[in-house]
Every structure is written in C-alpha cells, then in structure tokens.
Chain A
Amino acid sequence: MAEMLLRDAMSKALREALDEDDRSFLMGEDIGAYGGAYAVTRGFLEKYGEERVRDTPISESVFVGAGIGSAMIGMRPIVEVMTINFTLVAMDQIINHAAKLSYMSNGQLQVPLIIRTVTGGGGQLAATHSQSFENWYASVPGLRVVVPATPYDALGMFRSCRKDNNPIIFAEHALLYRVKGEVPEEYYEVPLGKARIAKPGTDVTLVAYSGMVRVAEEAAAKLEEDDISSEVIDLRCLSPLDLDTVIESVKKTNRVAIVEETWKTGGFSGTIASDIQEAAFDELDGPVIRINGPDVPAPYARNIEQLMIPSSDWVVKSVKYNFGL
C-alpha cells in the first residue's frame, strides 16, 4: 500500500472529481495560477483549464453563493475557501442559503456543494487565522461537516461527499497536510457519519477529530506506559455524527474525554458530552471530560500559542487526574 501525504490524497480526490464528473469544477481564491494556498491544486489549471479551475476574486460571499447557485441547477461544484476564518465572510450564503434551500423548497432544490476549507491553529498565524469553526457549522441542520484526520479518510470521505447531495463543509487541518498515511491503490470509500476506532482500548475513551486525533493518539501511547488503555475514536464527521460508536466505547470503558481544538465555550465537545451523559449516564465512572482550547484568541508568540492548543501531556494529566488513574 502506498504512503501518501494528506495533501496528495486531497489532490487525488480533486483530480478524480474533475476526471470523472463533467458537472464538477473547482472555484476559489488562488487555486489556479498560484496552485492553491496549500498547494493542493498545483498543476490543475494547466491540466483542466480556466473554466473548471476557476480563480475567483476575493469575494467569498459571491463565490460560495455561485457554488450554491450552480449546484441548484445540477452542477457539482467544489469551492475552496482558503481558510475557515474566511468562511465567516460567506456565512450568509452557507447558513441562510445553502443549508436552507432543500428544506424551504420542500425538497425541490438540492445543493450538492462541497466547500473545502482549511482549519486549525498552531502555525503562529495569530488570532484571525488560527481558528476552527467546524463546530459552528455542525450545529446547522442542512449542512454536513466532514473533518478527516488521515490521508486515507480524506480521500475516502471526499469520494463519499461527491455522491452526497447536500452542502458539505470539508475542513482540512492545516497541520495535517504534511502527514503521511497509507492509501490503497484500489478504489474505496469511507462513508459519512461512521466514526473510526483509531486505537482500541479498555480503560478510557478519547474522542477527537481532525488535528486532535493525533494528539489523542499520542496521549494514548503515553497513558499506555502507565498501563492505562485508551480507546481513541476519530469522529471523522461532525454531521452526521456517529454517536453510537462513542456510546459503545463508553459502555466498555466507562470513562470518556473529548479533545477539541477550539474554544471550550460553545465547543462541539459540549454537545458530545451532553449526548453521552443522556445516552449512557449509568455507564459513567467519572465526569465526561472536555479538553478544549481555552477561551482566548490565538496569540502570535509561539510559547503562548502552544498553551492554547490541547497537547497530549495535557490530555494525559487531565485523564489521570479526573479519573483518579
């Protein structure tokens, strides 16, 4: 099986879309001549031309809206918003329009739009460029939110997204582009809404998604040294959310910690924690722990920036302390 960077898995996914589906086209800022801010679409313009690899003005609202509009009449656009921070400029289009059209038209309209965007902090890009808003979008009915943590899932879930007829926020973590993982040559898909047990274990469940899956895996390895066996669950999607896999795991381990990069207040970990205690209250052998970034804007300076992103040591300490392990 070939090893592949997540960036290359995404490139492959996008090439497949353009190769296999005439209705698909890419649109976004600097995806063509520049080759993509994260180099995912390098070489695409030359191969597919300007019509299908469309560089846009810096007008997020209108090019996201243009994606929606073209999807309304049967195209399958793939829109790239350079970072999730910039999706805020297009939030009206995403939430008031993309997420509503199927419902408000009573199913007459479908919006098969994939909005690819880059999420996460840790790159010393300071407060406006280091945020994660997947949780916000996950709270909106009508949207799907896909948050891959591995090259395998990035490709496999993108393939599933292409078959889905809903607006999708496909959030790729900036620090994962250089992560390598195995990606088989043969065709496969990863269904949306099916969490992955990244590592089985018996003593505590660590729930994570996107960039935090690696943190949880590292923490699991450290806990293992103290004979604490962690089960790491990669949610893969926030919407649809696979709560069943989480609950099954909690029933086994009786302890759960949710690791999430974004702010604790309003974090998606709160939703998951609440769902867990509703569904499995009598299975809990301790409080449901939320390990989130603190409620502060991301600073520039590296030392303090690192203090706001959950780390594996942080997870280990929190698990040991809160569960008395």
Chain B
Amino acid sequence: MKRSTFKEEQKVTTTSNIENMEKQEALGIFSRMLLIRRFEEEAERLYRKGLVRGFLHTYIGEEAIAVGAIPILREDDYVIGHYRDHGHALARGIDPKAAMAELCGKSTGCSGGKGGSMHLFDIEKHFMGGHAIVGGQLPLAIGIALGVKLKQLDSVVMCFFGDGAVNEGEFHEAMNIASLWKLPVVFMLENNLYGMGTDVNRSRAGGSSIYGAAEPYMIPAVQIDGMDVMAVRETVIEGVAKVREGQGPVFIESMAYRFHGHSMADPSNYRDNEEVQENRTRDPIDKFRDDCIEAGKVDGNDIALVAEQIDILVQEAREFAEQSPEPTAEDLYTHIYAEPEGN
C-alpha cells in the first residue's frame, strides 16, 4: 500500500483500533459482511436453480469495502455505484427481501422486477442505483453532487466504480469537473485487479495501482487494503469528513479481490487457481472475525449466534422472493415516462 491516509505523514492502518470498539459495533460490522456473503451465496444457488436469470455479479470477497464505507454515511448522503451492487445495497440498509425479490424478477423487488440484479434502487434510502454501463454512474454522481451543492446542503455522494471504469473517458471527465467545481464526491475505486477477465496490468498504463490517476486532477487520493474492513472504515471516516467540509472530492482506492468469477457465466480461466486460493486466505470476514476474537471483543458463541440470525434473514429473503408475484403485463408499460409535475 502506497498511502492509506489523506494526511501528509504516512500512517499504517492496523486493526489495533478494534480495541477501541464496542462489542455490539464489532458484531454489527461482522453481521453486515456475513449478510452480504450469505446473500450472494444464496443468489448463486438460486441462479443455478434458474430462479435468478440474466447477469449475476456477486460481491464475495469484497464485502469489507461496502461495509467499511457505507455505514459511515449519514442518511442524507447518497450512494451510487456499479452493477456489482448487492453489497452496496445491503450495506446501505436495503431490505434483503426486496433485493432478493429483485434478483428473482418479482414485483416486490426494490426496482419492481424491472431492474434486476444490476439495477437495484432505493431512493428513499438515497441508494441511487446500481448502473450497468461501465463508468456511466460517474457523471451521475457528479450531477447529484452538483445538486447538493446548488441546494447548499452538506451531504456527500459516495460513488463506487471498478478498475475497468478508470479507462473510460467519463472517469476523466468526472475527475476534472468534480475537482474544478469542488463537488462533494467520495470516489470509491474498488480495484479487484480484473476488468471482467482482463488483468489491470494489461489494460492500464502504469500498472495495477490506480489512485495516482486522481492526482493530475488535484484530488487527494489514497490506496488502502480493501479486504481490511477497519482500514476502509478509518479512511472513509477521514475522507467523508474532508468532503463534507466543502474541500471538494477525495479518491479512495480499495485493493480487493473477488473470490468468484466476474459473473455466473465466468469460468475464470484468466486467473490461475493458486492466485485465487492465496487471496481466499485473506478472506475479509474471517480476518475481521479472528481479529475480534483475538482482541477479546467477541467469542465463538457470539459469532455462531450472528451466523444463525443471518441464515434466517437470508432464508426469509429467499422465501419472500420465491413467493412474491411476478410483474403484470400492465407493468411493462408503467414508468416509462414520469407523471407531470403536480400530479
């Protein structure tokens, strides 16, 4: 890691600050990560059974980023991201039932069954969507931030994107204008080292470390271990505060690794098994659990109890999704256009 703090002097983030954490808070972080993990595993099962169709991109292995970052935000802040969006949505507090129902194409889904896995929305929770055109959410984040600024609010906009998006023109346009207009954006780069199947070293001049791309735009940028939830938390707390002060955007590159393929269709031929196995030993959930136990914050019983509750939540979500009705033929034609103002 090159740099993990926005402060001038280098500081290595450690897990030692777990010691300052309450038990409930630690269990909260653990349970959020585990919820995402179990939700994704169930989604994959449903995909194999044919209940989830289309594209399914799971967040397994990257849970620490969403869980480390999103709960830091206030309710009036905004989250917008890419198509690997289940983790972000759950971390933002979207009901797992509504999310699972959306994956199953049911009318009770958080997008009414019209968006699917890649397009989860919950505007009440300021979750502004998963967006499936690589890089396309970046200009939208700029716009939300501009709206915040024009409304003279102090909300921040957290925008997730992957290493693939960095090579889109929209990324550079967004960096420039965010910096130029000092917009309240936290750019959250999830660098999982592969743009679909292409190694970032083969797609980007300068190699796998990307945060330097923000520097020409005068945006403060750091790189952190995205598999360390406490590191993510600490950096995001700092970054969000900076943005909220009105000093313009920050850029956080979280180094990550997705344990499964790009999507369900991906045989992962482009990564060797050794690399995958090695990264799996760095499982962010296991690491946090072990650190917590080591720090004496939680014990095996606590963990087992949480795991049991999460299993129930996910099974309820599955049952809800399975039992929910499909959209009607009329729904095909609703919400293509908005109602006129005043209606």
A57→B180 contact, CB < 8 A: yes
Min CB gap A113→B, angstroms: 9
Interface residues of A in 86-138 (CB under 8 A from B): 92-93, 96-97, 101-112
B133→A96 contact, CB < 8 A: yes
A97→B335 contact, CB < 8 A: no
Kindly list chain A residues whose C-beta atoms are within 8 Å of the C-beta of B169: 61
Min CB gap A53→B, angstroms: 12
Min CB gap B105→A, angstroms: 12
Docked Cα-Cα span, A75 to B142, in Å, equals 13
Interface residue tally for chain B (C-beta within 8 Å): 45
Min CB gap B342→A, angstroms: 8
A57→B114 contact, CB < 8 A: no
Contact of B129 among A74, A105, A142 (CB under 8 A): A105
Known: A109-B123, A110-B338, A166-B337. A73 touches B176 (CB 8 A): no
Residue of B111, B133, B337 ringed by the most chain A CB atoms within 10 A: B337
Kindly state whether residue A47 has any CB partner on chain B within 8 Å: no
Min CB gap B234→A, angstroms: 28
Interface residues of B in 104-135 (CB under 8 A from A): 111-115, 119, 121-124, 128-129, 131, 133
Kindly state whether residue A175 has any CB partner on chain B within 8 Å: no
> Which chain B residue has the least Cβ–Cβ distance from A90?
B139
Interface residues of A in 163-185 (CB under 8 A from B): 163-166
Known: A102-B337, A142-B336. A108 touches B122 (CB 8 A): yes
B129→A73 contact, CB < 8 A: no
B147→A164 contact, CB < 8 A: no
Kindly state whether residue A154 has any CB partner on chain B within 8 Å: no
Kindly state whether residue B146 has any CB partner on chain A within 8 Å: yes
Contact of B139 among A64, A71, A73 (CB under 8 A): A64
A73→B147 contact, CB < 8 A: yes
Kindly list chain B residues whose C-beta atoms are within 8 Å of the C-beta of A40: none
Known: A92-B136, A105-B115, A108-B123. A57 touches B147 (CB 8 A): no
Docked Cα-Cα span, A102 to B337, in Å, equals 7
Kindly list chain A residues whose C-beta atoms are within 8 Å of the C-beta of B180: 57
Kindly list chain B residues whose C-beta atoms are within 8 Å of the C-beta of A75: 146-147, 150-151
Kindly list chain B residues whose C-beta atoms are within 8 Å of the C-beta of A274: none
Docked Cα-Cα span, A92 to B174, in Å, equals 14
Residue of B140, B142, B180 ringed by the most chain A CB atoms within 10 A: B140
Interface string of B304-343 (1 = CB under 8 A from A): 0000000000000000000000000000001111111110
Kindly state whether residue A202 has any CB partner on chain B within 8 Å: no
Kindly state whether residue A56 has any CB partner on chain B within 8 Å: yes
A101→B129 contact, CB < 8 A: yes
Kindly list chain A residues whose C-beta atoms are within 8 Å of the C-beta of B339: 165
Kindly state whether residue B148 has any CB partner on chain A within 8 Å: yes
Contact of A68 among B139, B173, B335 (CB under 8 A): B139
A92→B176 contact, CB < 8 A: no
Kindly state whether residue A66 has any CB partner on chain B within 8 Å: yes
Residue of B143, B176, B337 ringed by the most chain A CB atoms within 10 A: B143
Contact of B114 among A66, A70, A104, A112 (CB under 8 A): A104
Q: Which range holds the interface residue count of chain A?
A: 35 or more
Kindly state whether residue B291 has any CB partner on chain A within 8 Å: no
Kindly list chain B residues whose C-beta atoms are within 8 Å of the C-beta of A141: 336
A107→B177 contact, CB < 8 A: no
> Which chain B residue has the least Cβ–Cβ distance from A59?
B173
B138→A104 contact, CB < 8 A: no
Kindly state whether residue A63 has any CB partner on chain B within 8 Å: yes
> Which chain A residue has the least Cβ–Cβ distance from B337?
A166
Kindly list chain B residues whose C-beta atoms are within 8 Å of the C-beta of A57: 173, 176-177, 180
Kindly list chain A residues whose C-beta atoms are within 8 Å of the C-beta of B139: 61-66, 68-69, 93, 97
Kindly list chain A residues whose C-beta atoms are within 8 Å of the C-beta of B342: 163
Kindly state whether residue B145 has any CB partner on chain A within 8 Å: yes
B336→A102 contact, CB < 8 A: yes
Kindly state whether residue B78 has any CB partner on chain A within 8 Å: yes
Docked Cα-Cα span, A165 to B142, in Å, equals 20
Known: A62-B177, A69-B147, A105-B129. A142 touches B337 (CB 8 A): yes
Kindly state whether residue B170 has any CB partner on chain A within 8 Å: yes
> Which chain A residue has the least Cβ–Cβ distance from B147?
A70
Kindly state whether residue B252 has any CB partner on chain A within 8 Å: no
> Which chain B residue has the least Cβ–Cβ distance from A61?
B170
Known: A57-B176, A59-B177. A65 touches B133 (CB 8 A): no
Kindly state whether residue B103 has any CB partner on chain A within 8 Å: no
Kindly list chain A residues whose C-beta atoms are within 8 Å of the C-beta of B146: 66, 69-70, 75
Known: A59-B176, A93-B139, A112-B338. A106 touches B112 (CB 8 A): yes
Kindly state whether residue B100 has any CB partner on chain A within 8 Å: no
Kindly list chain A residues whose C-beta atoms are within 8 Å of the C-beta of B143: 65-72, 77
Docked Cα-Cα span, A74 to B170, in Å, equals 23
Kindly list chain A residues whose C-beta atoms are within 8 Å of the C-beta of B335: 102-103, 105-107
Q: List 6 A-B contacts (CB under 8 A).
A: A52-B150, A57-B180, A62-B142, A105-B115, A106-B111, A111-B338
**Extra inter-chain contacts (11) besides given A66-B142, A70-B143, CB under 8 Å:** A57-B176, A57-B177, A59-B173, A66-B140, A68-B143, A69-B143, A102-B337, A105-B111, A106-B113, A108-B122, A166-B337
Q: Which residues of A contact B (CB under 8 A)?
A: 25, 51-52, 56-57, 59, 61-75, 77, 92-93, 96-97, 101-112, 141-142, 144, 163-166
| CB-CB nearest 9 A-B residue pairs | A69-B143, A65-B139, A106-B112, A70-B147, A62-B173, A165-B338, A107-B335, A66-B143, A59-B173
